[in-house]
Amino acid sequence: MKQFLDMIYLNYIRFRIYYSKSPNDIIKILKNISYINGCNNSDEIITFLIRCFVLYPLTEYEMRKFSIWEQEYNNEGGITNFATFTVWLSIIESVNINLKLL
């Protein structure tokens, strides 16, 4: 039952990522992941996102959108930089994992 609920939650997070319109949406998603899963550090959040992106891969358009956000907020510092960088690292690692699975 827990595994089924985990899959539903991963699908829900993936749905929210798909419909994100700005880095503020990503900040809200990361806060939700941290609250629901009890992730206390960036390593746990990144691991969760990688799992999500391996099961539900991003489209090319989404990857482009996150790449632009990461470049735009790269040297800004603060939570926006953290959020965009965290998601971008997760995307890169999930692409590497998916390539290994092929």
Strands (E), the chain: none
Q: How far apart are CA 29 and CA 95, in angstroms?
A: 20
Mean pLDDT value across the chain? 91
Tokens of 11: 């699908």
Q: Which residues contact 84 (CB under 8 A, 6 or more apart)?
A: 23, 26, 66, 69, 70, 72, 73, 74
pLDDT in tens, 50-95: 999 999 999 999 999 999 999 999 888 899 999 999 999 999 999 9
Between 99 and 63, where is the model more confident? 63
* Tens digits of residue pLDDT in 2-38: 788 888 999 999 999 999 999 999 999 999 999 988 8
Sorted by where each begins, the domain ranges of the chain are 2-101
Confidence of residue 102 (pLDDT cuts 50, 70, 90): low
pLDDT at 72 (0 to 100): 92
**Within 10 A of 20 (CB to CB), how many other CB atoms are there?**
18
The predicted pLDDT at position 100 comes to 81
